[in-house]
Amino acid sequence: MMSSVVEMKKIVKDFNCFRVLDNVDFELKFGEIHALLGENGAGKSTLMKILRGIYHPEAGEIIIKGKLVKIRSPKDSRMNGISMVFQEFSLVSSLTIAQNIFLTRESRTKIGLLDDRNDEKRASILLSEMGVDIDPKLKVEQLSAGYRQIIEIVSALSQDAQVLILDEPTSSLTYAETKALFSILNTLKTRGISIIYISHRMEEIFQIADRITILRDGKNRITDYIQNLTIEQVIEYILGRKVVKDASKSNYEYNPNKAPLLEVKNLNYGKNVQDVSLKLFPGEVIGIAGLLGSGRTELAQTLFGITPAQSGEILVKGEKAKIDNAKCGINAGISYVPEDRRKQGLVTMHSIKNNFELPLIIANNICRSRMFINDRKITNLLDNYIKKLNIRTDSINKEVCMLSGGNQQKVVIAKWLSLGSDILILDEPTVGVDIGTKTEILEIARSLANNGKGVIMISSELHELMSISDRILIIKQGSIVREMKLRDICSVNELHQILQGAQNNDKTGQQ
């Protein structure tokens, strides 16, 4: 009996005389979840696009269920039972669940009209088989991100897919939605569906994957069973170097008697920020943990002035600050890296330089000479940050949309660091970036704190908060409900339990 559903042997792919894939082997077994890992540019996407028929290899073979095949188009890929669910949802929000599942493959009546009722029955059966209880007549615009992800998967399975490629499937999901998705993936696995799982989230990989393949510089560095590897080993294979655990961690000791950089007293903004009080000290990183919708981002935006507080006080270095808009936040010495870099952090069709200089111009910083922008100073400052943050680009005039996600995020961070603010708020700064860039971003944040700055870090990835924070605050329904020193938390699992348990508790332990 065949053990492999897909075999890719000695795959070679070149772009403009540059070898992107160098004799790569990849095997997917029947009924397994196989994680495909690597930094941005390692070759993951190229390999999957070859399997999907988007790219054609210079050399190599693809074997599906023991048979040598030629995949020259996405249609060929679908005909061989391969389907991909992309990170960006492809559903039509104004259509129903059933209409999305069978889009372009709708049922027809005898006279050729669309038969929505029959498609709703078919969709109901598919959803039921996956243990999903939802009305197929609901419009997609009414669904949460978790349900949209499930509908994408059901749509792929409705086309008789035997191989599912999932690209960052949990990037916009809550903890509970991720848990529900994993249950569905395990159900699919027992039915013989094989899954290629692409993600930068190490904890998830170790929860869901059976085997791991790691690409680096276009080569297969290792394929092994998950139980034979540790997270540290996987990261080392991805980066190609040893990682010194907690190398960037400071010896910071929280002292509530020190003068804080930032003090917030009874801050309120609608239902999303309710009676929040906190202190941030020089040299400290505060981690903020909470479920989606808990008020994490709203608190950050209120501190920065995007949504001005309706009541309460913000003090910066002991002085009361009136922060009614983002410019006031900048002038008060606060910088804010937003959650969605593409929509909130960058003008993607503009150049790196244009994006970098925006906060400097708003702040009337050193880059103005009388009434004119000092272009030379901006260029020199940007060149310095490109080197400092290892931003990979061949020109400062390159459009930001042409950069990888990790390099885009570094541009956002660079433009705010250029202001020299003493307080930096980071909202989900590592979403959608590879493990190498994640490590660099966390090291930047820790280095700023070690040099006397104050950092507020919001993240859904609790192991990141554990690796960088000095204190962690739990937020629920716009309120801080618990505060802990890092040394009082034994593990990420314990922090998960505290976070879940805090949803049922009243305010405790607030300074």
Residue from 294, 256, 288 nearest 274 by CA: 294
Buried b (16+ CB within 10 A) or exposed e, 102-138: beeeebeeeeeeebbeebbebbbebbeebebeeebee
Backbone angles phi, psi at 393, to 5 degrees: -155, 155
Q: Tally the C-alpha atoms within 13 A of residue 277's C-alpha that lie toward its C-beta.
A: 8
E-strand ranges in 291-438 read 311-316, 319-320, 334-337, 368-369, 372-373, 423-427
Q: Three-state SS for 500?
A: helix
pLDDT tens string, the chain, 511 residues long: the values are: 568 999 999 999 998 888 999 999 999 999 999 999 998 778 898 999 999 999 999 999 999 999 999 999 999 999 999 998 876 667 898 999 999 999 888 899 888 899 999 999 999 998 888 788 889 999 999 887 778 888 988 888 888 889 999 988 887 777 777 888 899 899 999 999 999 999 888 888 999 999 999 999 999 999 999 999 998 899 889 988 776 554 445 556 666 677 899 999 999 999 889 999 999 999 999 999 987 778 999 999 999 999 999 999 999 999 999 999 999 999 999 999 998 888 888 998 999 999 998 888 877 655 555 556 778 888 999 999 999 888 888 899 999 988 877 888 899 999 999 988 999 999 999 887 778 888 888 989 999 999 999 999 999 888 889 889 999 999 998 999 999 988 888 887 788 788 877 655 544 444 4
Residue from 457, 407, 504 nearest 297 by CA: 457
Write 77-81 long-range contacts (CB < 8 A, 24+). 77/51, 77/52, 77/53, 78/159, 78/161, 81/160, 81/161, 81/162, 81/163
Say which DSSP state 344 is in.
I
Token duo for residue 185: 């993936």
Backbone angles phi, psi at 237, to 5 degrees: -65, -40
Cα–Cα dist 260/278, whole Å:
10
* DSSP letters for 19-65: EEEEEEEEEEETT-EEEEE--TTSSHHHHHHHHTTSS--SEEEEEET
**β-pairing verdict for 273-280 and 262-269:** antiparallel
pLDDT of residue 1: 53
How confident is the model over 227-241, as pLDDT tens digits?
999 988 998 899 887
Three-state SS sequence of 274-317: EEEEEEECCCCEEEEECCCCCCHHHHHHHHHCCCCCCEEEEEEC
Say which DSSP state 509 is in.
S
pLDDT of residue 508: 42
CB atoms within 10 A of CB 223: 14
Q: Phi-psi bin for 390: left (phi > 0), alpha (psi -120 to 50), beta?
A: left
pTM given for the model:
0.72
Q: Does domain 1-81+162-242 sit in CATH 3.30.450.20?
A: no
CB atoms within 10 A of CB 277: 15
pLDDT of residue 499: 80
Residue 511 in contact with residue 308, Cβ under 8 Å?
A: no
Q: Furthest-apart CA pair in the chain: how many Å?
A: 80
Token duo for residue 30: 């029947």
CA distances from 480 to 277, 299, 459, 477, 484 (A): 8, 10, 15, 9, 11
- Class assignment of domain 260-333+422-511? alpha beta
CATH 3.40.50.300 placement within the chain: 1-81+162-242, 260-333+422-511
First to last CA, the chain: 63
Please list the helix, strand and coil fractions of the chain in percent, rounded to the nearest 5, in that order.
35, 25, 40
CA distances from 465 to 141, 180, 462, 496 (A): 32, 23, 5, 11
